[in-house]
Structure 1
Amino acid sequence: MMLRSLSSDFLKIRRKGIWFLIFLAPIGLVAMQALNFGLRLDYLKGQYAGHLWEGLIDNVADFVPIALYLGVTLVSSLVANVEHQTSSWKQLLALPISRTAVFSAKFTLCFLLLTVSCLLLPIGTALLGLALGFGTDIPVETLVKVGFLPFLGALPLLALQLWLSLTFRNQSLPVSLGVALALISPFASQLSEFFPLNWPRFSYEGPHAEWFIGAGVVTGFLIMFMGLMHFNRKDVD
């Protein structure tokens, strides 16, 4: 049932602008670094002499957490808004499909959409490095890590945002919360590395990245489970 619901959700998001957002985020990050390196190429080549690829990846990685928080917020809101805008919750839940399948399908949809975005980021970064003449010795493993590991650390926010977006017809609360967290996330580095807003960064950086990956995955699924329990019991308009 979940797969049938997921297939239906993919059809519903056509012409909703979600795919544009999925492509915009990684392309925007890469374009920003293209401008950064294009304007200061000689200086940055001197600064990162001998490890140009690492310098490029580090510059991209600095902006990945804030992009993730914004992406998670907007994707969750847009996916939930498909039902809110058409007031179709009662019709959807009257179908012979469980609420668990409906909620799980929407979480899976958000996860897959953001996974596509995370895949495009290392591809775009690799193409930028090649265009800048950094050589063909591409650090594929590092690129994949910076693309996907921070996302695993951000799973708690994905679960929370989807829960809130499905709960509230007015999306101002979940969107405002997500934007606020994105804006304050760069300053969270001054707090403990175990502060949840730091999990995406330390899922990629640091000697104990596996701790933060595990914390993100476990906490994300705990919040998703709580959201699922609430969704199964709530009345719909």
Structure 2
Amino acid sequence: MKEILTVEKLKLKRSKIWILYILGPLIGVMLAYTNFYNNYELFVQPGDNEWIEAWTQVAIFMGPFVLPIMVGVYAAFVCRSEHVSGGWKQLLALPVQRTKIFLGKFLITATMIAVTLFIVLILFLGFGLVKGINGDLPMLTLIGYCIKGFLACLPLMLLQLIISIRSKTFGIPLAVSIVFTLPAIIVASTPLGQIYPWTQPMLAMSPVDESPIESYFTFYTLLSILSIALLYFGIRNFAKRDIL
């Protein structure tokens, strides 16, 4: 597994994926702060912590829009080299278990999302300090939102990875990501939102008083079941497929 992860990292070094690490979080955080300050009197009431209220906007813009699209792009990127010049045949001809190949690509995708959320947190703190946001900085709470957002991305990562493995063109997984992202903000306010992979990150990243989640136990149980089911399906499907 270590060797597989090393090879995957080397493949990504040839790309300019690092641009997305900065661009995606920058867009999300800037939109969040712009909306926050344009509607400051609406969002901030006496006794509110401005950091938490500002983060609510990050959850709204990053959760159902920027982050899901980035998951789709990342998943497509980790499969891109295999779709070029018969790369799958070369990879699957090696004496390596297909389960490990799938897990390796999943772990790389997960690492990319973790890095993205870390950059989101850094940019959010940086902009907030520059703007002079009032209130105590709830650092552990903000880190918790990022961790929960990462966990909520797991089903989406697996789903997009399955699509990317089966799609020979980069555009298909990206198109799927964009199409299913568009209704996310509407679906989030319905019971379907808790099992809709494109809304789960927003729900998880939102403060308790701003999230439509009625039962966190139910939400994370569904999240776990969906993740396990997609992981099982992804590994089983990849292991049984003929050489691509």
Q: TM-score range by the shorter chain?
A: 0.7 to 0.9
2:40 equivalent in structure 1:
44
1:194 aligns with 2:190: no
| Residue correspondence of structure 1 range 34-183 to structure 2 within 5 A | 34-36=33-35, 40=38, 44=40, 47-48=43-44, 49-50=46-47, 51-65=49-63, 66-135=65-134, 137-183=136-182
1:234 equivalent in structure 2:
241
2:204 equivalent in structure 1:
203
Aligned residue pairs total 233
Change in 2 beyond 3 A, CA 1:208/1:190: closer
| Amino acid in structure 2 at the alignment position of 1:165 | S
Which deviates more, 112-121 or 83-92?
83-92
For the residue of structure 2 that corresponds to 1:13, the secondary structure is helix
**C-alpha separation between the residues in 2 aligned to 1:208 and 1:125?**
28
How many angstroms does 1:64 deviate by?
2.2
How many angstroms does 1:195 deviate by?
4.0
Which deviates more, 16-25 or 66-75?
16-25
User: Structure 1 regions of 5+ residues with no counterpart?
Assistant: none
Are the equivalent residues in 1 in contact too, given 2:33–2:54 (CA < 8 A)?
no
How many angstroms does 1:80 deviate by?
0.8
**C-alpha separation between the residues in 2 aligned to 1:78 and 1:8?**
14
Aligned CA RMSD, in angstroms, stands at 2.2
How many angstroms does 1:176 deviate by?
1.8
For the residue of structure 2 that corresponds to 1:96, the secondary structure is coil
TM-score where L is the length of structure 2:
0.86
How many angstroms does 1:21 deviate by?
1.2
Percent same amino acid at aligned positions? 26
Change in 2 beyond 3 A, CA 1:82/1:126: same
